[in-house]
A and B are shown apart, each in its own frame.
Chain A
């Protein structure tokens, strides 16, 4: 029951309308949605990269600071983890709209002309939405790794002359490389496979493969091309999943 729908979608992707083996669906998928496949990868890489940088910075700040601000950031940063993507999408629609909060704020600061507002229902708005949602997740995972590191490692670094950025970049983060790798893989896979956010944020094309699959099935009843697009998604996510599994196994068996 678990494998059957997955296997069926792969078989369908290699089958033409008459039921014979063919690459026609892939040909169609690439010619119609090639740009969208690249768009999906682009958004996933950009979103993952920026979320990771922000997540690492926030986690390191929370780990090393005892201030009230750090505790507040820690609490606030968890908010996004528990919100469903559809809620985030709806929030982003009003926040990023031409006369939404972001444009109004930027206009008040004199950075944007309100009559020519930033158009963000595209790759930038979508990436922003993913960063908003995924940064807390990365912060949470990375922080859980950082919090088990004994203070003595940090103090040992400081006693030999390390400043905060040395402590973070040379000691703390390298010590939790497997945790960071897992957070990155999971975030990348989430971004690649999320449907709601691009569906509600991106106006027109290019859009993500997930939206294309839904479109193909809903409007054309074309399961073959949708399956071929699905295989592209499996491949993208699969590479990362293999990396994740290898990393997890290595960590469990060898402890690093």
Chain B
């Protein structure tokens, strides 16, 4: 399977730049997710790769072949659409066989390949059904099978799970991941759902306003977000603005404008520098009593708490800042209640303001 390379790809619609000089390489056999909010350019990028849109600038390569201006029917790319786009007048078999017929594949081979791919997506025996006779999840699998039956060089998936209910969506994430690994196909997956991206991807490319903001493994993106946007978009984060007061041998002291002081890893900080601290909910530890030995222990006030079944989503006030944390269920919290919290310095994420 070839790698996919985007070299300075730009697409404009009038005065709006949907994709802005995007450089990206998708490695052979990996599944890379384009993640970002609505309008960030992820679907436009995917459609450029598919050939449905010709970029205004830049080049696209599949392996060594430049395909920037090649029509979609000549790219040998499988595409799974958000609404599945199964042709309603064709049965499942006909939907899958269509592309093979266009390639003049012998009839027996078509039957064989359709059978194989349907078994791969666990839909054996559904050949004669029409799309309207299938559930959403089954339609999604047929759409995937239709893209895979042609053994494409690259598989592109445009928010394929967004029309499914939450439970099915969660199941399908693992199925798609498993299928991609099994086939070893290079895949590009578009989503705005960060949980989906974290589960599915070998690497995630976070886009915002048409630009690549960060590229890395799910762990890198989650644990070391490049900026406030990524920290806020991937996972939950509370943000606190602070200034570097002192930089010691192994740590730095930061202070907020309302006088809250934090100890943080010094990593390249300079005195007087303005930074943003991103704090994940799971990194807010609740203490039963104040501690003399721990750093970054504060008394916070409960603003509100919401029961989520497996946890309690709690918003705390620290000085003028709001912190979000998740507590085990069963704990009763009332607004105004005071809690001792610990923010481990090594878990604080420092991002550009």
Contact = CB atoms under 8 A, between A and B. Distances in A.
Interface of A: 150, 152-153, 155-163, 166, 170-171, 174-175, 177, 255-256
B73 A175 contact: no
Nearest to A151: B52
Interface stretch (B75-83, B167-175, B188-196, B319-327): B75-83
A157 B52 CA distance: 11
B85 A156 contact: yes
A177 B87 CA distance: 13
Contact of B102 (A153, A155, A162): A162
B71 interface: yes
Contacts of B89: 174-175, 177
B81 A161 contact: no
A158 B72 contact: yes
A155 B79 contact: yes
B170 to A, nearest CB: 24
A155 B50 contact: yes
B71 A152 contact: no
Interface of B: 50-52, 71-73, 75, 77-79, 81-83, 85-89, 98-99, 102-103, 132, 146-147, 150
Contact of A153 (B72, B85, B150): B85
B78 A159 contact: yes
Given A159-B50, A159-B73, A161-B150, A152 B83 contact: yes
B103 A156 contact: no
A160 B83 contact: no
Given A161-B99, A174-B89, A175-B89, A156 B73 contact: no
A171 B86 CA distance: 10
Contacts of B98: 157, 160, 162, 170
B85 A161 contact: no
A158 B87 contact: no
Contacts of B132: 255
A109 B293 CA distance: 102
A162 B73 contact: yes
Contacts of A160: 73, 98-99, 102, 146, 150
A89 to B, nearest CB: 39
Nearest to B97: A160
B85 A175 contact: no
13 contacts: A152-B82, A155-B72, A155-B85, A158-B73, A159-B50, A159-B73, A160-B73, A160-B150, A161-B150, A171-B87, A174-B87, A174-B89, A175-B88
A150 B87 contact: no
